[in-house]
Structure 1
Amino acid sequence: MGDNKDWEASMRWLKDNGLTIALLSLFAICIVGQWISGWHVALEDARRHEQPGLSLFAYAASPQFLSSVFENWESEFLQMAAYVVLTALLIQRGSAESKDLADPDRDEHLERQAYQPGAPTILRKGPVWRALYARSLGLALALLFVASFVMHWLHSARAAAEEALEHGEAPLSVLAYLGDAQLWFESFQNWQSEFLSTAVLVVLSIFLRQRESPESKAVAAPNKQTGE
Protein backbone atom coordinates (compact mmCIF):
# COMPACT_ATOMS: atom_id res chain seq x y z
CA MET A 1 0.00 0.00 0.00
CA GLY A 2 2.81 2.35 0.97
CA ASP A 3 4.69 1.54 -2.24
CA ASN A 4 1.63 2.49 -4.31
CA LYS A 5 1.34 5.81 -2.52
CA ASP A 6 5.04 6.52 -3.04
CA TRP A 7 4.71 5.64 -6.72
CA GLU A 8 1.67 7.88 -7.12
CA ALA A 9 3.44 10.71 -5.31
CA SER A 10 6.48 10.31 -7.58
CA MET A 11 4.32 10.33 -10.69
CA ARG A 12 2.44 13.37 -9.46
CA TRP A 13 5.73 15.17 -8.78
CA LEU A 14 6.99 14.34 -12.28
CA LYS A 15 3.75 15.55 -13.83
CA ASP A 16 3.71 18.75 -11.77
CA ASN A 17 7.30 19.54 -12.72
CA GLY A 18 7.38 18.08 -16.23
CA LEU A 19 8.15 21.34 -18.04
CA THR A 20 11.18 22.14 -15.87
CA ILE A 21 12.44 18.54 -16.01
CA ALA A 22 12.15 18.45 -19.81
CA LEU A 23 13.91 21.79 -20.27
CA LEU A 24 16.75 20.95 -17.87
CA SER A 25 17.16 17.56 -19.53
CA LEU A 26 17.45 19.22 -22.93
CA PHE A 27 19.92 21.71 -21.44
CA ALA A 28 22.05 18.86 -20.06
CA ILE A 29 22.05 17.05 -23.40
CA CYS A 30 23.01 20.19 -25.29
CA ILE A 31 25.78 21.36 -22.97
CA VAL A 32 27.33 17.89 -22.96
CA GLY A 33 27.10 17.94 -26.75
CA GLN A 34 28.78 21.36 -26.82
CA TRP A 35 31.49 20.12 -24.44
CA ILE A 36 32.35 16.99 -26.42
CA SER A 37 32.12 18.55 -29.88
CA GLY A 38 34.09 21.61 -28.73
CA TRP A 39 36.78 19.30 -27.34
CA HIS A 40 37.13 17.61 -30.71
CA VAL A 41 37.46 21.01 -32.39
CA ALA A 42 40.15 22.00 -29.85
CA LEU A 43 42.01 18.73 -30.47
CA GLU A 44 41.97 19.34 -34.22
CA ASP A 45 43.20 22.91 -33.72
CA ALA A 46 46.02 21.65 -31.47
CA ARG A 47 46.97 19.03 -34.07
CA ARG A 48 47.22 21.67 -36.81
CA HIS A 49 49.52 23.75 -34.60
CA GLU A 50 51.52 20.66 -33.57
CA GLN A 51 50.66 21.20 -29.90
CA PRO A 52 49.50 18.69 -27.27
CA GLY A 53 45.74 18.52 -26.93
CA LEU A 54 43.79 18.94 -23.72
CA SER A 55 42.02 16.04 -22.05
CA LEU A 56 38.24 16.09 -22.11
CA PHE A 57 38.02 17.25 -18.49
CA ALA A 58 40.80 19.81 -18.87
CA TYR A 59 38.89 21.27 -21.83
CA ALA A 60 35.83 21.71 -19.59
CA ALA A 61 37.86 24.15 -17.44
CA SER A 62 39.48 25.91 -20.41
CA PRO A 63 38.74 29.58 -21.13
CA GLN A 64 37.71 28.70 -24.68
CA PHE A 65 34.90 26.42 -23.48
CA LEU A 66 33.79 28.54 -20.53
CA SER A 67 33.80 31.72 -22.62
CA SER A 68 31.48 30.14 -25.19
CA VAL A 69 29.14 28.84 -22.45
CA PHE A 70 28.78 32.15 -20.65
CA GLU A 71 28.59 34.03 -23.96
CA ASN A 72 25.38 32.15 -24.72
CA TRP A 73 23.96 32.34 -21.20
CA GLU A 74 24.55 36.08 -21.17
CA SER A 75 22.43 36.64 -24.28
CA GLU A 76 19.61 34.44 -23.01
CA PHE A 77 19.38 36.23 -19.65
CA LEU A 78 19.54 39.62 -21.39
CA GLN A 79 16.67 38.59 -23.65
CA MET A 80 14.53 37.36 -20.76
CA ALA A 81 15.27 40.37 -18.55
CA ALA A 82 14.43 42.80 -21.34
CA TYR A 83 11.32 40.84 -22.27
CA VAL A 84 9.97 40.73 -18.70
CA VAL A 85 10.52 44.46 -18.19
CA LEU A 86 9.40 45.64 -21.63
CA THR A 87 6.18 43.62 -21.56
CA ALA A 88 5.35 45.37 -18.29
CA LEU A 89 5.77 48.77 -19.95
CA LEU A 90 4.81 48.34 -23.62
CA ILE A 91 2.10 46.54 -25.59
CA GLN A 92 1.67 44.93 -28.99
CA ARG A 93 -1.97 44.99 -29.98
CA GLY A 94 -3.19 41.52 -30.90
CA SER A 95 -0.18 39.61 -29.52
CA ALA A 96 -0.50 36.77 -27.04
CA GLU A 97 2.83 37.95 -25.63
CA SER A 98 1.46 41.35 -24.61
CA LYS A 99 -0.78 42.50 -21.80
CA ASP A 100 -4.08 44.13 -22.76
CA LEU A 101 -4.36 47.73 -21.58
CA ALA A 102 -8.12 47.27 -21.38
CA ASP A 103 -7.66 44.82 -18.51
CA PRO A 104 -7.57 46.22 -14.97
CA ASP A 105 -4.18 46.54 -13.30
CA ARG A 106 -3.84 43.25 -11.41
CA ASP A 107 -1.09 44.59 -9.17
CA GLU A 108 -2.76 47.71 -7.80
CA HIS A 109 -3.10 48.16 -4.03
CA LEU A 110 -0.50 45.54 -3.12
CA GLU A 111 -0.68 46.62 0.50
CA ARG A 112 -4.24 45.25 0.58
CA GLN A 113 -3.57 42.25 -1.65
CA ALA A 114 -0.74 41.24 0.71
CA TYR A 115 -3.30 39.87 3.18
CA GLN A 116 -5.14 37.68 0.68
CA PRO A 117 -4.90 33.91 1.33
CA GLY A 118 -1.71 32.50 -0.13
CA ALA A 119 -0.09 35.88 -0.83
CA PRO A 120 3.72 35.82 -0.36
CA THR A 121 4.69 36.79 3.18
CA ILE A 122 7.26 39.30 1.94
CA LEU A 123 4.45 41.59 0.78
CA ARG A 124 3.55 42.24 4.42
CA LYS A 125 7.05 43.40 5.38
CA GLY A 126 6.58 47.00 4.28
CA PRO A 127 6.63 49.20 1.15
CA VAL A 128 10.35 48.75 0.36
CA TRP A 129 10.12 44.95 0.36
CA ARG A 130 6.88 45.11 -1.64
CA ALA A 131 8.52 47.33 -4.25
CA LEU A 132 11.53 45.02 -4.54
CA TYR A 133 9.45 41.85 -4.69
CA ALA A 134 7.14 43.42 -7.28
CA ARG A 135 10.18 43.76 -9.57
CA SER A 136 12.16 40.75 -8.37
CA LEU A 137 11.85 38.66 -11.55
CA GLY A 138 13.29 41.38 -13.78
CA LEU A 139 15.98 42.17 -11.22
CA ALA A 140 17.00 38.51 -10.84
CA LEU A 141 17.25 38.04 -14.60
CA ALA A 142 19.24 41.27 -14.95
CA LEU A 143 21.68 40.10 -12.26
CA LEU A 144 22.06 36.74 -14.01
CA PHE A 145 22.83 38.63 -17.23
CA VAL A 146 25.47 40.78 -15.52
CA ALA A 147 27.05 37.72 -13.84
CA SER A 148 27.13 35.81 -17.15
CA PHE A 149 28.58 38.81 -19.01
CA VAL A 150 31.34 39.18 -16.41
CA MET A 151 32.20 35.47 -16.67
CA HIS A 152 32.17 35.69 -20.48
CA TRP A 153 34.45 38.73 -20.34
CA LEU A 154 36.95 37.15 -17.93
CA HIS A 155 37.21 33.82 -19.75
CA SER A 156 37.29 35.45 -23.17
CA ALA A 157 40.14 37.68 -21.93
CA ARG A 158 42.01 34.55 -20.75
CA ALA A 159 41.47 32.87 -24.12
CA ALA A 160 42.66 35.96 -26.00
CA ALA A 161 45.74 36.22 -23.76
CA GLU A 162 46.66 32.58 -24.42
CA GLU A 163 46.28 33.09 -28.16
CA ALA A 164 48.41 36.26 -28.06
CA LEU A 165 51.20 34.45 -26.21
CA GLU A 166 51.10 31.59 -28.74
CA HIS A 167 51.77 34.17 -31.48
CA GLY A 168 54.50 35.92 -29.51
CA GLU A 169 52.37 38.99 -28.87
CA ALA A 170 51.80 40.92 -25.65
CA PRO A 171 48.38 39.99 -24.18
CA LEU A 172 45.88 42.63 -23.17
CA SER A 173 45.05 43.05 -19.51
CA VAL A 174 41.61 41.90 -18.40
CA LEU A 175 40.49 45.51 -18.03
CA ALA A 176 41.87 46.52 -21.42
CA TYR A 177 40.12 43.55 -23.02
CA LEU A 178 36.79 45.07 -21.97
CA GLY A 179 37.31 47.56 -24.81
CA ASP A 180 38.41 44.95 -27.34
CA ALA A 181 36.26 44.49 -30.43
CA GLN A 182 36.36 40.69 -30.13
CA LEU A 183 34.46 40.72 -26.83
CA TRP A 184 31.73 42.94 -28.21
CA PHE A 185 31.56 41.01 -31.48
CA GLU A 186 30.93 37.83 -29.48
CA SER A 187 28.23 39.56 -27.43
CA PHE A 188 26.40 41.48 -30.15
CA GLN A 189 26.23 38.48 -32.49
CA ASN A 190 24.14 36.71 -29.83
CA TRP A 191 22.18 39.69 -28.52
CA GLN A 192 20.81 40.62 -31.95
CA SER A 193 19.51 37.10 -32.57
CA GLU A 194 17.75 37.00 -29.18
CA PHE A 195 15.93 40.28 -29.76
CA LEU A 196 15.00 39.27 -33.31
CA SER A 197 13.57 35.91 -32.22
CA THR A 198 11.56 37.56 -29.44
CA ALA A 199 10.16 40.18 -31.81
CA VAL A 200 9.22 37.43 -34.29
CA LEU A 201 7.40 35.51 -31.53
CA VAL A 202 5.50 38.64 -30.47
CA VAL A 203 4.33 39.34 -34.03
CA LEU A 204 3.62 35.74 -35.07
CA SER A 205 1.48 35.19 -31.98
CA ILE A 206 -0.95 37.78 -33.41
CA PHE A 207 -1.80 35.57 -36.37
CA LEU A 208 -0.69 32.02 -35.53
CA ARG A 209 -1.63 29.58 -32.75
CA GLN A 210 -0.22 26.65 -30.82
CA ARG A 211 -2.97 24.54 -29.30
CA GLU A 212 -2.97 24.43 -25.48
CA SER A 213 0.17 26.57 -25.15
CA PRO A 214 0.06 29.49 -22.66
CA GLU A 215 2.35 31.33 -25.08
CA SER A 216 -0.47 31.32 -27.65
CA LYS A 217 -3.98 32.68 -27.73
CA ALA A 218 -6.81 30.16 -27.91
CA VAL A 219 -6.97 28.64 -31.38
CA ALA A 220 -10.39 30.22 -32.05
CA ALA A 221 -9.45 33.64 -30.59
CA PRO A 222 -9.66 36.61 -32.98
CA ASN A 223 -6.41 38.05 -34.27
CA LYS A 224 -7.17 41.42 -32.66
CA GLN A 225 -7.35 39.89 -29.16
CA THR A 226 -4.41 40.98 -27.04
CA GLY A 227 -2.98 38.65 -24.41
CA GLU A 228 -3.89 35.02 -23.79
Structure 2
Amino acid sequence: MPKRKPHFFYRNGLSIVFLSFFIVAWVAQAFFGWKQHNDELMELGAQPIAFAHYLSSGHFFSSTFENFQSEFLQMAMYVILTISLRQIGSAESKDLVKPEEVDREPDPLKKDAPGPVKRGGWQLWLYQQSLSIAFVVLFLGSWAGHLYGSYTDHNEQRMLHGEPEQSLSAFLGEPDFWFETFQNWQSEFLSVASIVILSIFLRQKGSPESKPVDAAHWETGK
Protein backbone atom coordinates (compact mmCIF):
# COMPACT_ATOMS: atom_id res chain seq x y z
CA MET A 1 0.00 0.00 0.00
CA PRO A 2 1.53 3.38 -1.01
CA LYS A 3 2.39 5.72 1.82
CA ARG A 4 -0.04 8.61 2.13
CA LYS A 5 1.34 12.12 1.73
CA PRO A 6 1.03 14.12 4.98
CA HIS A 7 -1.86 16.58 4.85
CA PHE A 8 -1.35 20.32 4.33
CA PHE A 9 -1.51 21.35 7.99
CA TYR A 10 0.95 18.65 9.06
CA ARG A 11 3.43 19.86 6.43
CA ASN A 12 2.96 23.55 7.26
CA GLY A 13 1.77 23.53 10.87
CA LEU A 14 4.61 25.56 12.36
CA SER A 15 4.22 28.52 9.98
CA ILE A 16 0.39 28.38 10.09
CA VAL A 17 0.25 28.44 13.90
CA PHE A 18 2.81 31.21 14.30
CA LEU A 19 1.22 33.36 11.58
CA SER A 20 -2.17 32.83 13.21
CA PHE A 21 -0.77 33.92 16.58
CA PHE A 22 0.77 36.95 14.86
CA ILE A 23 -2.49 38.02 13.18
CA VAL A 24 -4.53 37.64 16.37
CA ALA A 25 -1.96 39.57 18.43
CA TRP A 26 -1.61 42.29 15.77
CA VAL A 27 -5.37 42.82 15.55
CA ALA A 28 -5.58 42.98 19.35
CA GLN A 29 -2.68 45.45 19.46
CA ALA A 30 -4.39 47.64 16.83
CA PHE A 31 -7.74 47.58 18.67
CA PHE A 32 -6.35 48.39 22.10
CA GLY A 33 -3.87 50.89 20.67
CA TRP A 34 -6.81 52.66 19.01
CA LYS A 35 -8.66 52.78 22.34
CA GLN A 36 -5.59 54.10 24.16
CA HIS A 37 -4.87 56.70 21.48
CA ASN A 38 -8.45 57.98 21.57
CA ASP A 39 -8.27 58.26 25.35
CA GLU A 40 -5.14 60.40 24.98
CA LEU A 41 -6.81 62.57 22.31
CA MET A 42 -9.87 63.19 24.46
CA GLU A 43 -7.69 64.09 27.46
CA LEU A 44 -6.13 66.79 25.28
CA GLY A 45 -9.52 68.05 24.14
CA ALA A 46 -9.35 66.55 20.63
CA GLN A 47 -11.96 64.41 18.88
CA PRO A 48 -11.49 60.61 18.82
CA ILE A 49 -10.61 59.10 15.45
CA ALA A 50 -12.13 56.15 13.58
CA PHE A 51 -10.37 52.78 13.64
CA ALA A 52 -9.57 52.98 9.90
CA HIS A 53 -7.95 56.38 10.45
CA TYR A 54 -5.94 55.01 13.37
CA LEU A 55 -4.39 52.35 11.11
CA SER A 56 -2.61 55.10 9.15
CA SER A 57 -1.62 57.11 12.22
CA GLY A 58 1.88 57.65 13.57
CA HIS A 59 0.86 56.00 16.84
CA PHE A 60 -0.01 52.71 15.07
CA PHE A 61 3.05 52.78 12.81
CA SER A 62 5.37 53.50 15.71
CA SER A 63 4.04 50.77 18.01
CA THR A 64 3.96 48.20 15.19
CA PHE A 65 7.37 48.76 13.61
CA GLU A 66 9.03 49.36 16.97
CA ASN A 67 8.49 45.66 17.66
CA PHE A 68 9.08 44.43 14.11
CA GLN A 69 12.52 46.02 13.81
CA SER A 70 13.85 44.52 17.02
CA GLU A 71 12.71 41.03 15.99
CA PHE A 72 14.28 41.29 12.54
CA LEU A 73 17.48 42.68 14.05
CA GLN A 74 17.58 39.71 16.41
CA MET A 75 17.21 37.21 13.57
CA ALA A 76 19.71 39.01 11.31
CA MET A 77 22.35 39.08 14.05
CA TYR A 78 21.63 35.48 14.97
CA VAL A 79 21.97 34.20 11.39
CA ILE A 80 25.17 36.19 10.75
CA LEU A 81 26.98 35.69 14.08
CA THR A 82 26.37 31.92 14.22
CA ILE A 83 28.41 31.56 11.02
CA SER A 84 31.70 32.20 12.82
CA LEU A 85 31.03 32.40 16.57
CA ARG A 86 30.73 29.32 18.79
CA GLN A 87 29.36 28.51 22.24
CA ILE A 88 30.60 25.30 23.78
CA GLY A 89 27.75 23.04 24.85
CA SER A 90 24.97 25.04 23.16
CA ALA A 91 22.43 23.44 20.85
CA GLU A 92 22.42 26.73 18.92
CA SER A 93 26.12 26.61 18.02
CA LYS A 94 28.02 24.79 15.31
CA ASP A 95 30.51 22.16 16.44
CA LEU A 96 33.80 23.55 17.74
CA VAL A 97 35.94 21.26 15.57
CA LYS A 98 33.99 19.15 13.07
CA PRO A 99 32.92 20.69 9.73
CA GLU A 100 29.18 21.28 9.40
CA GLU A 101 26.87 20.32 6.55
CA VAL A 102 25.87 24.00 6.11
CA ASP A 103 29.51 24.91 5.35
CA ARG A 104 30.00 22.58 2.41
CA GLU A 105 30.17 23.97 -1.13
CA PRO A 106 26.85 23.76 -3.01
CA ASP A 107 26.57 21.07 -5.69
CA PRO A 108 24.95 22.38 -8.90
CA LEU A 109 24.39 18.79 -10.06
CA LYS A 110 22.39 17.81 -7.00
CA LYS A 111 18.84 16.74 -7.77
CA ASP A 112 16.26 19.45 -6.89
CA ALA A 113 18.97 22.03 -6.18
CA PRO A 114 17.47 25.56 -6.29
CA GLY A 115 17.78 27.46 -9.58
CA PRO A 116 20.49 29.92 -8.42
CA VAL A 117 22.70 26.98 -7.39
CA LYS A 118 22.46 25.48 -10.86
CA ARG A 119 23.08 28.81 -12.59
CA GLY A 120 26.08 29.78 -10.43
CA GLY A 121 27.93 33.10 -10.64
CA TRP A 122 26.48 36.18 -8.96
CA GLN A 123 23.10 34.48 -8.56
CA LEU A 124 24.67 31.73 -6.48
CA TRP A 125 26.63 34.25 -4.40
CA LEU A 126 23.48 36.27 -3.71
CA TYR A 127 21.49 33.15 -2.90
CA GLN A 128 24.18 32.00 -0.45
CA GLN A 129 23.68 35.24 1.52
CA SER A 130 19.94 35.61 0.89
CA LEU A 131 18.69 34.76 4.40
CA SER A 132 20.84 37.34 6.17
CA ILE A 133 20.18 39.91 3.40
CA ALA A 134 16.42 39.41 3.78
CA PHE A 135 16.53 39.93 7.54
CA VAL A 136 18.77 43.01 7.23
CA VAL A 137 16.40 44.54 4.64
CA LEU A 138 13.37 43.74 6.82
CA PHE A 139 15.15 45.30 9.82
CA LEU A 140 16.05 48.48 7.96
CA GLY A 141 12.53 48.80 6.53
CA SER A 142 10.98 48.27 9.96
CA TRP A 143 13.39 50.74 11.56
CA ALA A 144 12.37 53.32 8.95
CA GLY A 145 8.70 52.54 9.64
CA HIS A 146 9.29 53.01 13.37
CA LEU A 147 11.08 56.30 12.75
CA TYR A 148 8.28 57.55 10.49
CA GLY A 149 5.59 56.56 12.99
CA SER A 150 7.38 58.00 16.00
CA TYR A 151 8.18 61.25 14.18
CA THR A 152 4.59 61.64 12.94
CA ASP A 153 3.09 60.85 16.34
CA HIS A 154 5.56 63.19 18.05
CA ASN A 155 4.49 66.12 15.85
CA GLU A 156 0.81 65.26 16.28
CA GLN A 157 1.31 65.46 20.04
CA ARG A 158 3.14 68.80 19.70
CA MET A 159 0.31 70.18 17.59
CA LEU A 160 -2.28 69.16 20.20
CA HIS A 161 -0.20 70.97 22.83
CA GLY A 162 -0.04 74.10 20.66
CA GLU A 163 3.67 73.66 19.90
CA PRO A 164 5.31 74.06 16.45
CA GLU A 165 6.21 71.06 14.30
CA GLN A 166 9.74 69.73 14.83
CA SER A 167 12.14 68.81 12.03
CA LEU A 168 13.30 65.23 11.59
CA SER A 169 16.88 66.11 12.48
CA ALA A 170 15.72 67.81 15.69
CA PHE A 171 13.51 64.82 16.51
CA LEU A 172 16.48 62.46 16.18
CA GLY A 173 18.18 64.47 18.89
CA GLU A 174 15.32 63.76 21.30
CA PRO A 175 15.62 60.80 23.71
CA ASP A 176 12.14 59.32 23.13
CA PHE A 177 12.83 57.56 19.81
CA TRP A 178 16.13 56.11 20.98
CA PHE A 179 14.62 55.01 24.29
CA GLU A 180 11.93 53.07 22.38
CA THR A 181 14.58 51.61 20.06
CA PHE A 182 17.11 50.39 22.62
CA GLN A 183 14.37 49.23 24.98
CA ASN A 184 13.40 46.67 22.33
CA TRP A 185 16.89 45.80 21.16
CA GLN A 186 18.15 44.87 24.61
CA SER A 187 15.26 42.45 25.18
CA GLU A 188 15.97 40.68 21.87
CA PHE A 189 19.68 40.30 22.62
CA LEU A 190 18.81 38.90 26.04
CA SER A 191 16.36 36.37 24.57
CA VAL A 192 18.98 35.07 22.10
CA ALA A 193 21.61 34.85 24.85
CA SER A 194 19.07 32.92 26.96
CA ILE A 195 18.42 30.19 24.37
CA VAL A 196 22.15 29.93 23.58
CA ILE A 197 23.12 29.51 27.25
CA LEU A 198 20.11 27.60 28.62
CA SER A 199 20.34 24.98 25.86
CA ILE A 200 23.73 24.00 27.31
CA PHE A 201 22.18 22.62 30.49
CA LEU A 202 18.44 22.25 29.84
CA ARG A 203 16.55 19.95 27.45
CA GLN A 204 13.18 19.72 25.72
CA LYS A 205 12.45 16.29 24.33
CA GLY A 206 11.24 16.45 20.74
CA SER A 207 12.31 20.03 20.05
CA PRO A 208 14.92 20.72 17.32
CA GLU A 209 16.07 23.67 19.45
CA SER A 210 17.32 21.28 22.13
CA LYS A 211 20.09 18.72 22.27
CA PRO A 212 19.08 15.07 22.88
CA VAL A 213 18.04 14.57 26.50
CA ASP A 214 20.96 12.23 27.19
CA ALA A 215 23.59 14.52 25.56
CA ALA A 216 26.40 15.73 27.78
CA HIS A 217 26.25 19.37 28.85
CA TRP A 218 29.44 20.27 26.97
CA GLU A 219 28.44 18.49 23.77
CA THR A 220 28.06 21.29 21.22
CA GLY A 221 25.35 21.38 18.56
CA LYS A 222 22.31 19.16 18.07
Is this contact kept in 1: 2:116–2:123, CA < 8 A?
Answer: yes
Question: 2:155 is matched with which residue: 151, 156, 161?
Answer: 161
Shift, 1:131, TM fit = 1.9
Q: What is aligned with 2:104?
A: 108
Give the aligned residue type for 2:94.
K
RMSD: 1.6
Question: 1:173 is matched with which residue: 164, 167, 171?
Answer: 167
Q: What is aligned with 2:78?
A: 83
Q: What is aligned with 1:202?
A: 196
Deviation above 4 Å: which 4+ runs of structure 1?
Answer: none
C-alpha distance in 2 between matches for 1:183 and 1:43: 21
Shift, 1:76, TM fit = 0.2
Shift, 1:221, TM fit = 1.2
Give the aligned residue type for 2:160.
E
Give the TM-score of the pair, scaled to structure 2: 0.92
Shift, 1:175, TM fit = 4.1
For 1:120-159, what aligned pairs fall within 5 Å after superposition?
120-159=114-153
C-alpha distance in 2 between matches for 1:143 and 1:220: 40
Percent identity, please. Answer: 43
Unmatched segments (≥5 aa) in structure 2: none
Give the aligned residue type for 1:202.
V
Q: Which moved more, 1:198-207 or 1:176-185?
A: 176-185
Q: Which moved more, 1:134-143 or 1:179-188?
A: 179-188
How many residues end up aligned between the 2 structures? 218
Is this contact kept in 2: 1:161–1:171, CA < 8 A?
Answer: yes
Unmatched segments (≥5 aa) in structure 1: 1-7
C-alpha distance in 2 between matches for 1:178 and 1:46: 24
Give the TM-score of the pair, scaled to structure 1: 0.90
For 1:1-228, what aligned pairs fall within 5 Å after superposition?
12-106=7-101, 107-110=103-106, 113-228=107-222
Give the aligned residue type for 2:52.
F
